[in-house]
């Protein structure tokens, strides 16, 4: 059977004039995972539209397309094209789960929820000539015993971070604005691999650097402890994501640092208790954000802080206050978002009931455009404040000021070059991407991610480990492709 698997791109990712680095960060692990269920005799073509051209002059037997909200229109065009040729087209991902009836118009088969549970049955049905129009993931989800990801299908030289990995699914938290909560409805919403299987997958990866794309790497303490214990001595360097409360609780973050954690994506989101309570982000309530920054800095872990603008308690001062706090507390990189009511979320339901949604153009649901009426801000003020926050945070003066907030000269240098390299040299990244020479950046990035050994940790603890180095990745959550090894997409 000839199979084509496609991750469609956003329009700006295909521009001949400008190619932001965020679209060349991670390969499509979700599709590569599903490919592992195919037969060794199947002819598989895995295409990431962000980094290569999708040829449409072929006629495969099966076309599998991953759909997230901001690539939905391109995904539907590709699906319609291949269906007109007589190919069996299957669509899955977050957007398909959120709006299945919309997606079903463009597909022969759609997948609701994570694909690992249902894709094998679909393949058996397809080969028997009786494929169903819908497959829904329900109870009994697991990622134990999955076949190895088909990394041989990934074109590694086209990504800055080819060693991305996912060892859990979902998140134990249930924030009202989270796009993935609906995706895991009807079954387990957070579950992990077996530790030995996760470690085996890590062993398969060449080089030293890893990027865990899990929504919450510290979400299952027993699993995380086993993972970090097993990684000690591997000489790996890794980046990942975790919540505010998990950084402050126990010694898990120290274990992660000892295993090789060098930077962490942290969802601070908002400083307003009213916003946190209204969005059901209870894990951040009454938490000391400054203590999170200090603890990570003491461990030499760089921070990519996530912040959301436009929640109902946000006034016009929220932009300057947020940037000032992030700079003063040494946040290395910041990811700012305009609050976005994704279909399928409780936030979308609430705003729809209040008639506050002003656009259903899915291309604008990228957290950079205002698609609803804010409570205390005009849409124009919200958009202008969001743009200004990025300009101010990544201004040279604030990059230097943030770097100087750290105690050691080495951490100061790491902060400065990491933040500057991510945002101030985009024309250079564009040239490197077009030349397909991302690998030449490795030595520079290795130096930036070298270990900072703390001198005065909390509770008088001694420094952990010795200085090491490895390949750095760019900011997490910068490109909303697959962060789950199933038919997903943010």
Do 253 and 199 lie in a common domain?
A: yes
Do 112 and 226 lie in a common domain?
A: no
For residue 5, name the pLDDT band (cuts at 50, 70, 90).
very high
In a domain, 490, yes or no: no
Q: By percentage, how much of the chain surpasses pLDDT 90?
A: 70
**pLDDT at site 18:** 63
Structural domain ending residue among the three candidates 83, 101, 136: 136
Report the b/e string of 201-210 with b at 16+ CB within 10 A: bbeeeeebbb
For residue 282, name the pLDDT band (cuts at 50, 70, 90).
confident
In a domain, 476, yes or no: no
Question: Which tens digits make up the pLDDT trace of 352-385?
Answer: 999 999 999 999 999 999 999 999 999 999 999 9
Do 169 and 71 lie in a common domain?
A: no
**What does the mean pLDDT of the chain come to?**
88
Rounded Cα distance, 96 and 256, in Å: 35
Do 334 and 369 lie in a common domain?
A: yes
Do 81 and 201 lie in a common domain?
A: no
In a domain, 477, yes or no: no
In a domain, 287, yes or no: yes
Do 366 and 224 lie in a common domain?
A: yes
Which range among 251-255, 290-294, 310-314, 468-472 shows the weakest confidence by mean pLDDT? 468-472
**pLDDT at site 74:** 96
Do 165 and 126 lie in a common domain?
A: no
In Å, how far are 35, 163, 217, 269, 330 from 285, measured between CA atoms? 41, 34, 20, 11, 21
Do 330 and 192 lie in a common domain?
A: yes
Short-list 197, 254, 184, 186, CA closest to 463: 254
Range of the domain at 191: 160-460
Which range among 52-56, 254-258, 299-303, 420-424 shows the weakest confidence by mean pLDDT? 420-424
Do 305 and 247 lie in a common domain?
A: yes
- 182-203: average pLDDT: 92
For residue 461, name the pLDDT band (cuts at 50, 70, 90).
very low
Question: Which tens digits make up the pLDDT trace of 155-172?
Answer: 998 888 889 999 999 988
| End-to-end alpha carbon distance in the chain | 29
In a domain, 307, yes or no: yes
**pLDDT at site 471:** 23
- 295-307: average pLDDT: 95
Question: Which tens digits make up the pLDDT trace of 127-138?
Answer: 999 999 999 998
In a domain, 466, yes or no: no
Structural domain ending residue among the three candidates 136, 171, 197: 136
**pLDDT at site 33:** 97
For residue 174, name the pLDDT band (cuts at 50, 70, 90).
confident
For residue 453, name the pLDDT band (cuts at 50, 70, 90).
low
Do 447 and 332 lie in a common domain?
A: yes
In a domain, 186, yes or no: yes
In a domain, 390, yes or no: yes
**pLDDT at site 480:** 38
In this structure, are residues 248 and 291 in contact, taking their beta carbons and an 8 Å threshold?
A: yes
Which range among 163-167, 314-318, 333-337, 437-441 shows the weakest confidence by mean pLDDT? 437-441
Do 128 and 173 lie in a common domain?
A: no
| Number of structural domains found in the chain | 2
Output the domain CATH number for residue 29: 3.40.50.280
Distance of CA 288 to the CA centre of its chain: 25
For residue 389, name the pLDDT band (cuts at 50, 70, 90).
very high
Output the domain CATH number for residue 380: 3.20.20.70
Do 315 and 439 lie in a common domain?
A: yes
For residue 187, name the pLDDT band (cuts at 50, 70, 90).
confident
């Amino acid at each position: 059977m000839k199979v084509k698997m496609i991750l469609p791109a956003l329009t700006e990712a295909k521009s001949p004039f400008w190619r932001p680095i965020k679209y060349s960060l991670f390969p499509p692990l979700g599709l590569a995972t599903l490919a592992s269920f195919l037969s060794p005799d199947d002819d598989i073509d895995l295409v990431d539209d962000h980094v290569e051209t999708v040829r449409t002059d072929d006629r495969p037997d099966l076309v599998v397309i991953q759909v997230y909200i901001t690539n939905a229109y391109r995904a539907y065009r590709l699906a319609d094209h291949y269906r007109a040729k007589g190919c069996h087209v299957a669509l899955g991902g977050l957007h398909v789960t959120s709006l299945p009836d919309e997606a079903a118009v463009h597909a022969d088969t759609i997948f609701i929820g994570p694909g690992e549970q249902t894709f094998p049955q679909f393949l058996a049905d397809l080969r028997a000539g009786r494929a169903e129009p819908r497959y829904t993931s329900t109870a009994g989800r697991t990622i134990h015993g999955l076949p190895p990801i088909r990394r041989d299908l990934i074109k590694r030289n086209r990504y800055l971070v080819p060693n991305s990995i996912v060892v859990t699914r979902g998140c134990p938290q249930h924030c009202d604005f989270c796009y993935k909560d609906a995706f895991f409805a009807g079954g387990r919403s957070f579950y992990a691999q077996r530790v030995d299987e996760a470690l085996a997958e890590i062993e398969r990866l060449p080089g030293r650097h890893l990027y865990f794309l899990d929504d919450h790497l510290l979400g299952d303490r027993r699993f995380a402890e086993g993972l970090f214990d097993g990684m000690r001595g591997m000489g790996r360097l890794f980046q990942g994501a975790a919540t505010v409360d998990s950084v402050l609780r126990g010694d898990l973050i120290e274990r992660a640092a000892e295993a090789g954690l060098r930077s962490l994506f942290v969802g601070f989101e908002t400083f307003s208790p009213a916003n946190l309570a209204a969005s059901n982000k209870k894990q951040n309530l009454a938490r000391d954000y400054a203590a999170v920054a200090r603890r990570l800095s003491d461990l030499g872990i760089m921070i990519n802080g996530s912040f959301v603008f436009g929640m109902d308690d946000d006034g016009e001062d929220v932009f300057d206050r947020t940037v000032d706090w992030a700079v003063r507390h040494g946040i290395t990189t910041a990811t700012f978002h305009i609050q976005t009511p994704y279909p399928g979320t409780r936030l979308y339901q609430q705003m729809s009931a209040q008639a506050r949604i002003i656009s259903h153009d899915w291309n604008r649901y990228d957290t950079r455009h205002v698609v609803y009426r804010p409570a205390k801000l005009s849409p124009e003020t919200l958009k202008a404040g969001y743009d200004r926050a990025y300009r101010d945070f990544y201004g040279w003066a604030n990059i230097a000021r943030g770097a100087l907030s750290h105690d050691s000269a080495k951490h100061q240098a790491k902060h400065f070059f990491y933040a500057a390299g991510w945002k101030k040299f985009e024309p250079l990244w564009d040239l490197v991407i077009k030349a397909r020479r991302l690998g030449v950046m490795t030595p520079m990035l290795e130096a930036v991610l070298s270990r900072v050994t703390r001198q005065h940790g909390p509770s008088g603890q001694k420094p952990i480990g010795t200085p090491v180095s490895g390949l750095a990745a760019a900011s997490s959550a910068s490109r909303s492709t697959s962060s789950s090894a199933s038919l997903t997409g943010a």
